[in-house]
Structure 1
Amino acid sequence: MDIGIGLPGHAPWTDGRALVEWARRAERRGFTTLSASDRLVWTTPEPLIALAAAAGATSRIRLLTSVLLAPLRANHALFAKAVTTLDQVAGAGRLRLGLAPGLRDDDFSAGGVDYASRGRQFDRLLECLAAVTTRGAVDGHEPVGPSPATPGGPPLLFGGHSDAAVRRIVTHGIGWIAGDATVEGVQEFAPGLQKAWTEAGRQGAPRLVASVMFSLGPNARQALSEAIGPYYAFAGDEYAEYGISQAYSSPEQIRTAIEEFARIGCDELIFMGNDPDPRQVDLLADVIGL
């Protein structure tokens, strides 16, 4: 099972260069993937821009949005052009896109995008992205590009548990990405996804990527409270406390998580940071033996 690390984008950080240093250290220590999360109504950096900076500071580590709130990108052609540009900057085979429709209506209100129709907008975006990454044209207008460095464009992963999410995975994607994942949640969802994958005529198995929250060191629990508590406060204190309790803050918890997610067949486990200090990268690498 591959092990990735996620930028602490939703945590209280003030120095963007620290995120670039996360990328450099993540590559140097041997993590397979560096991921960036997405929110509009929060201090989270825009993920494509954050990953562009990471791409320029590294040369090998894979880059992933986990997950990008796709319907917020209302100009579909411009979004597709941003994706192919980032794919060129990163180099062939490095970029993957984790996409989801989004859950919070305040993101859409602030972005001037209709929340109720986000699913339909998502599907239109995917059609446009496919047109740009494979043919370089939209509605007869060409070139819309540059062409991606990765043939056919970056592979797509989709978040969510709905029937629509399954449809997008088997139609457009290479697999599923589970945020705030639990072993039980992956075990519950994966068999139905495999069944739909096979019935759609897809070969092999969909890729299963799980992401979990972490912080290490003497101030780990405080860092988790300061990052996750406010981030999930919209859902109430009980949910915020649940999110904090699910995060990993000790070497033993992290090693057990790796064993358990590998046991159930996950292809990749991504530990999302909650402390902006780049030394978190080294602490995690030391725990897992990188």
Structure 2
Amino acid sequence: MDIGVALPAAVEDASGRELVAWARAAEDHGFSTLSVIDRLVWPGTEPLVALAAAAAVTERIRLATQVLIAACRSDVALLAKQTASVQQLSHGRFTLGVAAGVRPDDYAATGTGFHDRGKRLDELLVTLQRLWGEGSSTPPLGARRPEILVGGRSHAALVRMARHGDGTVVVGPPGAFAQRAREAQEVWTEHGRQGRPRLVAQTYFALGDRARDDAREHLSAYYAFAGPHAQRFVDGALTTEQALLDAVEGYRRAGCDELVLIPCTSQVEQLGLLAATVKEEL
């Protein structure tokens, strides 16, 4: 199982210098992927801009949106060019993860409909791949189109993955991941896909003396829109070395291909602590 890490682009006070230092350090430590999460109505760095910066200072590590709330981006031609540009700038290291999202405020801010977002995401994925293939308004990709992962908790999200994607992104503990992985395989097979989908898990982490405080402060604010359910994210964060090692083993047993750990602070020292804990996996 590969171990990836997210850029702290969603951490409120993360600076450009910290994001660049984080990208370089993640590659130096041997992590498999450098990902970004997406939320428009939040003081963080835009995901594709962050990945473009990371592409400029790295050479080997994969770059991924996990996930981009793509359906609230109404200009599909522009999105096609942006994603193709990241693929070109990174020399083919980009993975596009998408989902419909659950926050109406992201859609309200862009003037796009919320209740039909799933249908529009399906249409967007078809159009994106057509525009990538045409190459008339995007950088030439040839056969190197980005890998596509589809996230989301619904059955419709799994159908979307089987129709348009290469795998899925699951947020949740190992037990929930194992159940979702079984469902993903069933839907994949039902739609005539050969082999198995790529299975990626995500979870939050913070290490060091302030680990619990960092997790509580960041996640309570980031998930404040969820009301009392925000505490579930706080409680689920991995804040000790043993919790992290237990989670790695749990995801591995559940059939996970890659575990991506999302930081709750932008301090680059977190990467050293994380790498030391999971050194056998890197």
**TM-score normalised to structure 2 length:** 0.96
**2:232 equivalent to 1:261:** no
Partner of 1:281: 271
Work out the CA distance in 2 between the residues paired with 1:10 and 1:77: 25
Tell me the SS of whatever aligns to 1:158: strand
Which sections of structure 2, spanning at least 5 residues, go unmatched? none
Amino acid aligned to 1:265: G
Write out per-residue CA displacement over residues 118-159 of structure 1, whole angstroms, 9 at most, x where no aligned residue. Answer: 1222122111111012222xxxxxx1211226x251010010
Tell me the SS of whatever aligns to 2:200: strand
User: Contact 1:68 / 1:99 at 8 angstroms: preserved in 2?
Assistant: yes
Amino acid aligned to 1:40: L
Tell me the SS of whatever aligns to 1:120: helix
Tell me the SS of whatever aligns to 2:238: coil
**2:109 equivalent to 1:110:** yes
Work out the CA distance in 1 between the residues paired with 2:89 and 2:120: 27
Could you tell me which of 171, 186, 192 is aligned with 2:183?
192
Please report how far the alpha carbon of residue 264 of structure 1 lies from its aligned counterpart in structure 2 after TM superposition: 1.1
Which sections of structure 1, spanning at least 5 residues, go unmatched? 137-142
Work out the CA distance in 2 between the residues paired with 1:73 and 1:131: 17
Amino acid aligned to 2:149: L
Map of 1:33-48 to 2, 5 A cutoff?
Answer: 33-48=33-48
Work out the CA distance in 2 between the residues paired with 1:266 and 1:48: 25
Please report how far the alpha carbon of residue 163 of structure 1 lies from its aligned counterpart in structure 2 after TM superposition: 2.6
Count of matched residue positions in the alignment of Structure 1 and Structure 2 = 280
Could you tell me which of 161, 169, 176 is aligned with 1:169?
161
Tell me the SS of whatever aligns to 2:209: coil
Partner of 1:140: none
Tell me the SS of whatever aligns to 2:195: coil
Amino acid aligned to 1:243: F
Please report how far the alpha carbon of residue 233 of structure 1 lies from its aligned counterpart in structure 2 after TM superposition: 1.0
Work out the CA distance in 1 between the residues paired with 2:60 and 2:21: 15
Amino acid aligned to 2:235: S
Could you tell me which of 190, 195, 202 is aligned with 1:211?
202
Amino acid aligned to 2:69: L
Write out per-residue CA displacement over residues 80-137 of structure 1, whole angstroms, 9 at most, x where no aligned residue. Answer: 0111111000002x1101100111001111111111221222122111111012222x
Work out the CA distance in 1 between the residues paired with 2:261 and 2:155: 27
Tell me the SS of whatever aligns to 1:63: strand
Tell me the SS of whatever aligns to 2:96: strand
**TM-score normalised to structure 1 length:** 0.93
Tell me the SS of whatever aligns to 2:59: coil
Could you tell me which of 170, 179, 190 is aligned with 1:178?
170
